[in-house]
Amino acid sequence: MTTEQRFTKQLESLYEISVEIASLHELSVIHDRALGYCLGLTDSQFGFIGILGDDRRALDVIAIKGFKPSEPDFYAQHRLIPVVRGILGIIVTEGRSTIANDVAHDPRRVGQPLGHPATHTFMGAPLKLGTAVIGMIGVANKAGGYLPDDDRILSTFANQVAVAIDNAGLYQRQREIIGRLEQLNQRLSEAEKEQVRAEERGRIASTLHDDIEQRLFTIGLRLNALLENGLDPKVAERLAGIRDIAQGTADEMRQLIFAGGDRVHGPADLTSSVRSLLRQAERNDGLQADLVVTGDSSPAVAGVAGVLHAVIRQALVNVAKHAAARTVLVSLRYEPDEVGAVIQDDGAGAPEFVLRSYQTSQLHYGLRHMREQVLGLGGTFEVANGDEGGLVLRMAVPLPPTT
């Protein structure tokens, strides 16, 4: 088998593996499965996964595969690896992969603990979330040494593993939050319960939008970079499939973020729910937030309140995170046949190219999907820079007929 044929086969395997890893939620299963695949993809004898501690001074070896230490307490003694200027240090401090095909004489070598298997060849790649390094994957003892294609495969897969590890951690934290909320629900009144649920939905939606969506976008960018390298057409088709899965997952997630459960079970009182959002923005984000209401609400508003609440909530999140604003004003206008809303801040505004392209851009998820939610109700949605600075978002939705 030629080198090119071998690399093509590795990439085809990577497609199936990436889909499987992305579907896992248990960290221990991800560690074991990912490390096993790393050894298979690179023809390595043994390997490990290490995660950086909070102080970033040591790697915690959370998974080892391919060797059994002779000392019974080897793992307990050596699971923490200090981050020093050696082969491993380069990977986690500089965020780049490395190959050492003659470990014994490599000038970067700083030694290894007693009882560690003899290491002849070594390759490692950082686990990255965006530009942040959270750890590394190391594999060793490939007969004949590691090649640049091995480096590309391990680095690409390491990015997938990093996202899977982070998603599993987020999944576990959300399960813990749900458990705590269930305990609180036993003691809170119905009104208090709804307030807690609304705030928690907003926090989770913000986390999904700011963290996971950006990581899915990063996966897409890196896959596009691989596709631009003139790969074999069959391999390119497989990688394009992975990219489409990532983009499809991001689209589905955005629908969940903006629906947030509110479209079906919207707030009973839109005015009160928006006022609660503004109090939360003042408390959590230090904004001066005001609400102006004209007209009177009606029972028909309940049919659109969920979407309006979700879009206004996301608009306030955008103001807090991106606008560098001090104040925000929300206006609600109730009319017999429609509800209008305006959100205006005194921040930096938006570049003109963003205002021209956000409707179709893959980069500006928030604005694009806020608009789609409003248009989905037959409404109108406009974004523009204010005459005196800041950003102004205007929307109006028709009221559904009441029975």
- Asked whether residue 96 carries a pLDDT value surpassing 80, the answer given is yes
pLDDT digits (tens, 9 = 90+) for 314-323: 899 889 888 8
The more confidently predicted of residues 183 and 335 is: 335
Beta strands in 243-376 (DSSP E): 288-294, 327-334, 338-345
Q: Which of 113, 171, 127, 144 is nearest to 31 (CA)?
A: 127
pLDDT digits 0-9 by tens, 163-206: 888 888 777 777 788 877 777 766 656 555 566 566 666 556 55
Q: Quote the longest CA-to-CA distance of the chain.
A: 82
Residue 98 has pLDDT above 80, yes or no: yes
More confident residue, 279 or 267: 279
Residue 257 in this model has a pLDDT that exceeds 70: no
Which DSSP category does 210 fall into? I
| Residue length of the chain | 403
Q: How far apart are CA 156 and CA 143, in angstroms?
A: 22
Domains of the chain and CATH, by start: 3-162 (3.30.450.40), 166-259 (no CATH), 270-398 (3.30.565.10)
Are 11 and 123 in contact, with CB atoms under 8 Å apart?
Answer: no
Q: What is the pLDDT of residues 386-395, one digit of tens each?
A: 988 899 999 9
Say how far residue 349 (Cα) sits from the centre of its chain.
Answer: 25
Q: pTM for the whole thing?
A: 0.46
- Residue 274: per-residue pLDDT: 93
- Please tell me the predicted confidence (pLDDT) of residue 200: 62
The mean pLDDT value for 58-80 works out to: 80
The percent of residues above 90 in pLDDT, for the chain, comes to 27
How many whole angstroms separate alpha carbon 31 and alpha carbon 268?
Answer: 45
User: Helices marked H in 104-212 — which ranges?
Assistant: 148-185, 190-207
Output the pLDDT for position 87: 85
pLDDT for residue 14: 65
207 vs 212: CA distance, rounded Å: 7
Average pLDDT, the chain: 81
Judge whether residue 84 has pLDDT over 70: yes
Tokens of 167: 């998603």
